Amino acid sequence: MQITLTVNGAAREVDIDPRTTLLDVMRHHLDLTGSKKGCDHGQCGACTMLVNGRRINGCLSLAVMHDGDEITTIEGLGDPGNLSPLQAAFVRNDGYQCGYCTPGQIMSAKGMYDEFNKGWPSHVSDDLTAEPNFSTAEIKERMSGNLCRCSAYPGICKAIEESAEEEGLTTRKAAE
């Protein structure tokens, strides 16, 4: 099937087997291997990408469902010589070890900032209607869909906290 995706700002036409996941279109057809495949079942979060601004697991979605959608993958954030603030913070804080879950962690955090800005509550929010607090507990809860077996969670949280403002977080920070 012929579909068009806007990937990292550029229109990309692909002719694909309808069984192809959005993740595999990136990895196998567009040579965008930054999005990782850790489980292919939406369990690990390594394939997290933004679709029309929202974070999803690329492995759980068929590409043909996204004709006309805007996709942002890790390759759309920054280059090795020109890192985005969040990417730089991951390097600074050792927010990874092997690096395999890292693109997913970063894309998930990008999506999460926006969810904070929109006032979305989480499982650990005390008040579902109040503006959510940008607390460590909130970050941990909202990032728990992204597994890191190297267990770099302390560095991941620190990177997310440190670069929040530069990444456009408008939610107030926790009064800690």
Q: Which residues bind another protein (CB under 8 A)?
A: 17, 19-20, 24, 27-28, 31-41, 43-44, 46, 73-75, 77-81, 83, 87-88, 90-92, 94, 96-103, 106, 124, 137, 139-141, 143-157
Closest by CA to 143, choosing from 131, 156, 133, is 156
- Cβ closest to another protein, residue 20 vs residue 117: 20
Q: Decide: helix, strand or coil at residue 49.
A: strand
- Cβ closest to another protein, residue 117 vs residue 144: 144
- Cβ closest to another protein, residue 34 vs residue 132: 34
Q: How far is the CB of 114 from another protein (least distance, A)?
A: 18
Q: How far is the CB of 75 from another protein (least distance, A)?
A: 6
- Cβ closest to another protein, residue 16 vs residue 70: 16
Q: How far is the CB of 71 from another protein (least distance, A)?
A: 14
Q: How far is the CB of 4 from another protein (least distance, A)?
A: 20
The answer to whether 53 and 114 are in contact (CB under 8 A) is yes
Which residues are within 8 A (CB) of 156 and not within 5 positions of it... i.e. 6 or more apart? 90, 93, 95, 96, 105, 109, 143, 148
Tell me phi and psi for residue 160, to 5 degrees.
-65, -40
The answer to whether 48 and 108 are in contact (CB under 8 A) is yes
Tell me phi and psi for residue 13, to 5 degrees.
-95, 130
